Amino acid sequence: MREIVLDTETTGLDPATGDRVVEIGAVEVLNAIPTGNVFHVYINPERDMPEEAFRVHGISADFLADKPVFAQVVDDFVAFLGDANLVAHNASFDVNFLNHELKRCGKEAIPPHQVVDTLSIARRKHGGANSLDALCARYGVDSSRRTKHGALLDAELLAEVYLELTGGRQATLVLGGAGSGGDRAAGPLRHKPRPVPLAPRLTEAERAAHAAFMATFKDSVWAKVMPQPAEERPAIAAE
């Protein structure tokens, strides 16, 4: 199933009061595995950048001055999303902003049934603290590059977390080594030995019948390679 794991950066917390999207990062996944296909764009919000927002993501108004406005990238974004589910952490925040931007451009809003919220999944599964950083730590996802919020980096990290949350990385499917947070390079499946060997299925009568059958072959290859009972083995001459 094709899904889009997405994150946004904005000028603030509420689009209803004039805050705008300034960055979109989106990662395409197929059956929860990233395909390498991404959508990433910085957007001129056509307004100033509040200091508190700048401290979060480090994106300045000067940096965004020559970037396209949302109306210039909306068709590419809508085409990339298509009819795939949109996966986001605290998805209501991102979707609320995106739907405000889509409405400005006369585009259809992203419907609720198309949205997957990883924060809700994590709360049901783990309870407690479920920030992206906390989930990266829980699942052994390296987030050391995340010194500030960035939409594409956060989407890439969330794609890894989403794979773990949905049970996609199974050792038995040779996708991630032994257990969550382990070696991420695919490798050969290693079966553990049985703690108790299975009981033999052949009866003594069947063994005797087979031995009698094999005895009918003279000078056969099997007689040379198969182990012989101790009493039938030729004695080794003493030197």
Measured distance CA(126)–CA(219) in Å, rounded: 69
Measured distance CA(65)–CA(236) in Å, rounded: 93
Catalytic residue among 57, 89, 100, 149: 149
Q: Please say if 149 is a catalytic residue.
A: yes
DSSP assigned state of 239:
-
User: Between the CA atoms of 86, 92, 96 and 98, what dihedral angle is there, to the nearest 10 degrees?
Assistant: -30
Residues in Cβ contact with 165 at an 8 Å cutoff, skipping those fewer than 6 apart: 118, 121, 122, 125, 135
Residues in Cβ contact with 224 at an 8 Å cutoff, skipping those fewer than 6 apart: none
Measured distance CA(59)–CA(23) in Å, rounded: 9
Token pair recorded at residue 133: 């950083």
CB of 43 within 8 A of CB of 59? no
Task: Tell me if residue 150 falls in helix, strand or coil.
Answer: coil
Three-class DSSP labels, 167-213: CCCCHHHCCCCCCCCCCCCCCCCCCCCCCCCCCCCCCHHHHHHHHHH
Measured distance CA(239)–CA(90) in Å, rounded: 84
Query: Which residues participate in catalysis according to the annotation?
Result: 149
